Amino acid sequence: MSERPTPDELAEAIEEFLSGEILPTLDDHRLRFRTLVALNALGIVRRELAKLPREDDAEQRELAARIRGGDVPEGTLARVKADVAERLQIDSPRYLDRY
Amino acid sequence: MIADMREALEAVLGPISEPMLLPGGASKEAWAVDAGGERLLVRRAGGGVIHRHTLSLRHEFEVLEVAYEQGVRAPRPVAYIEALAGREAFVMERLEGETIGRRIVREPVPAGLPVQMAEELAKIHALPPERLPFLEAATIDRLVVELDEVGEPHPAIELGLWWLRENRPPPRDPVVVHGDFRIGNLVVDGSGLVGVLDWEFAHLDDPARDLAFSLVRAWRFGADALRLGGIGDVEPYLERYNELTGFDVRPEELDYWELAGNVGWAIGCLTQAQRHLTGQERSVELAILGRLGAEVEYEICHLLERQGVA
């Protein structure tokens, strides 16, 4: 399953936040240094991520198109819900405790 | 920029205190200023809009004027300013009370709040549409267009849209609706509802849609057991609303529009993330909404199950 933002897009957003919004506000030398180190670490993460194969969303596209066409056989909801639960294990694991 | 702002504001308001930027506000800036012994709030355009159908600040100001004049509890509108340091803005009364949803649902709320919410909605839905000729009618079909613009596959949202198409209740005559009436956009204090904020999504629509918006789980701020915005039960709210309007909205209609509200917010999460991804407004806060939308999709599945979909 592929989701936006991708892991790299999320890392990029954090990078921009740290360098653009946090770093300019820091006067403390130690904190500035550590933030620069964190940005370096994030750069490593992004380069690692770039080496991973791209996720394929063809199956989700096909399913979405079928439902759009009104083709909703029994079992569709159970399957879709299981897929969303799987995404939540990554995106917001504690949310599932609310049900 | 603050100097420019100060000059433009003083031209309208006379001498003012130092403007203070308030936290929060996804697409608009809010500045607190005091002038002539009054607590004021300056609402100024930000980098982007949440939906394409967001009202301009000029139109939002006009809606607020009509609502205030018709007795809706809302901040008193003070002045519209076409160019405030380069962006449009308006000034209104700064109401005292709590607006942060998480804090409101954590504290015991005044027992009368659900009924007060119903009373304000009844007043809003009676606003004269001829005074607000720029308001557009909305249909849920608009949601499909917004989803297609995102261009990502989301089967759970598709299922929600499919169910909404198949189970549409008989349409009601459109009225002026607030469009974002929920905890978080209401000022609340110890006595209850102080004022209704954020009129930028006002449009013409089925009144039941506005009525059900507060039920959407995301707007219960974690207090899931209380279906009305995490603060109360739906029954007294619906009863009071029907008593005042004579619309006789049925609980099944609220179920329908609660689901529609979730589908709308699931798509809203994706469009907000798009603002970041397309570079319209780079923000880690917008970016992560693209992932948190999965929570709303799960709720859509849960509600569909309750409707007997398999």
Q: For B184-195, what is the mean pLDDT?
A: 95
Is A73 part of any domain? yes
CB spacing of B301 vs A80 below 8 angstroms: yes
The interface pTM score, or ipTM, of the predicted complex is 0.94
Q: Which of A10, A57, A99 sits opposite B302 (nearest CB)?
A: A99
Q: Are residues A32 and A67 in the same domain?
A: no
Note the pLDDT of residue A1. 58
CB spacing of A84 vs B152 below 8 angstroms: no
pLDDT tens column, B242-254: 999 999 999 999 9
**Set of chain B residues whose Cβ sits within 8 Å of the Cβ of A81:** 156, 298, 301-302, 305
Q: Among all residues of chain B, which has the CA nearest to that of A10? A: B287
**What residues contact B198, with CB distance under 8 A and at least 6 apart?**
B180, B185
Q: Are residues A68 and A45 in the same domain?
A: no
DSSP string, A55-67: P--HHHHHHHHHH
Question: How many domains in chain A?
Answer: 2
Is A2 part of any domain? no
Looking up tokens 């079928």, which residue turns up?
Answer: A66
CA A32 and chain centroid, separation: 27
Angular region, A27: left φ>0, alpha ψ -120 to 50, beta rest? alpha
By percentage, how much of chain B surpasses pLDDT 70? 97
Name the burial class of residue B271, with classes exposed (0-12), middle (13-18) and buried (19+) by CB atoms within 10 angstroms of its CB. Answer: buried
The answer, for A81 touching chain B at a CB cutoff of 8 Å, is yes
CB spacing of B304 vs A77 below 8 angstroms: yes
Q: Which domain holds residue A44?
A: 7-51
pLDDT tens column, A23-48: 999 999 999 999 999 999 999 999 99
**Average model confidence (pLDDT) across chain B:** 93
Tokens of B20: 């203070």
Interface with A, mutate which of B159, B163, B227 (most A CBs under 10 A): B159
Q: Which of A70-74, B4-8, B198-202 is least confident?
A: B4-8
Is A30 part of any domain? yes
Distance, CA of B16 to CA of B4 (rounded, Å): 13
Residue A53 has pLDDT above 60, yes or no: yes
**What residues contact B65, with CB distance under 8 A and at least 6 apart?**
B77
Tell me the residue length of chain A. 99
Q: What is the CATH number of domain B101-306?
A: 3.90.1200.10
By percentage, how much of chain A surpasses pLDDT 90? 91
Q: For B153-162, what is the mean pLDDT?
A: 97
Q: Which of B50-54, B110-114, B127-131, B170-174 is least confident?
A: B50-54
Interface with A, mutate which of B263, B295, B307, B309 (most A CBs under 10 A): B295
Note the pLDDT of residue B175. 97
Is A18 part of any domain? yes
Report domain extents, chain B: 2-93, 101-306
Is A64 part of any domain? yes
Q: Are residues A91 and A63 in the same domain?
A: yes
Fold match, B2-93 / B101-306: no
Backbone angles phi, psi at B185, to 5 degrees: -110, 10
Residue B50 has pLDDT above 60, yes or no: no
CB spacing of A84 vs B298 below 8 angstroms: yes
**Contact indicator for B226, B220 with CB cutoff of 8 Å:** yes
The answer, for B292 touching chain A at a CB cutoff of 8 Å, is yes
Q: Are residues A38 and A11 in the same domain?
A: yes
Question: Nearest to residue B280, comparing CAs of B28, B101, B50?
Answer: B50
**Set of chain B residues whose Cβ sits within 8 Å of the Cβ of A92:** 291-292, 294-295
Residue B130 has pLDDT above 90, yes or no: yes
Is A82 part of any domain? yes
Residue B25 has pLDDT above 60, yes or no: yes
The answer, for A76 touching chain B at a CB cutoff of 8 Å, is yes
The conformation of residue B137, written as its DSSP 8-state character, comes to B
Is A15 part of any domain? yes
Note the pLDDT of residue B234. 97
CB spacing of A5 vs B291 below 8 angstroms: yes
Looking up tokens 């139109």, which residue turns up?
Answer: B59
Q: Are residues A14 and A45 in the same domain?
A: yes
Q: Which residues pair with B39 in a beta bridge?
A: B34
Question: Nearest to residue B13, comparing CAs of B90, B85, B67?
Answer: B90
**Contact indicator for B64, B75 with CB cutoff of 8 Å:** yes
Residue A86 has pLDDT above 60, yes or no: yes
Note the pLDDT of residue B1. 66
Tokens of A62: 């096909």
Note the pLDDT of residue B141. 81
User: Between helices B113-124 and B234-245, what is the axis angle to 10°?
Assistant: 30
**Set of chain A residues whose Cβ sits within 8 Å of the Cβ of B295:** 88, 91-92, 95
Q: Are residues A68 and A87 in the same domain?
A: yes
Q: Are residues A86 and A68 in the same domain?
A: yes
| CA torsion through residues B251, B256, B257, B258, sign | positive
Residue B47 has pLDDT above 80, yes or no: no
Q: Which of A13, A64, A72 sits opposite B287 (nearest CB)?
A: A13
Residue B49 has pLDDT above 90, yes or no: no
Neighbour order of strands in the sheet with B77-84: B20-21, B28-35, B38-45, B87-93, B77-84
Architecture of domain B2-93: 2-Layer Sandwich (3.30)
**Average model confidence (pLDDT) across chain A:** 94
**What residues contact B46, with CB distance under 8 A and at least 6 apart?**
B25, B27, B28, B29, B87
- Tell me which of B83 and B48 has the higher pLDDT: B83
Tally A–B CB contacts below 8 A.
105
Is A1 part of any domain? no
Element (H, E) at B93: strand B87-93
**Contact indicator for B77, B92 with CB cutoff of 8 Å:** yes
User: pLDDT-derived band of residue B79, with 50, 70 and 90 as boundaries?
Assistant: very high
User: Between helices A76-91 and B284-306, what is the axis angle to 10°?
Assistant: 150
- Tell me which of B231 and B28 has the higher pLDDT: B231
Residue A92 has pLDDT above 60, yes or no: yes
Q: Are residues A14 and A43 in the same domain?
A: yes
Note the pLDDT of residue B54. 86
Q: For B213-225, what is the mean pLDDT?
A: 96
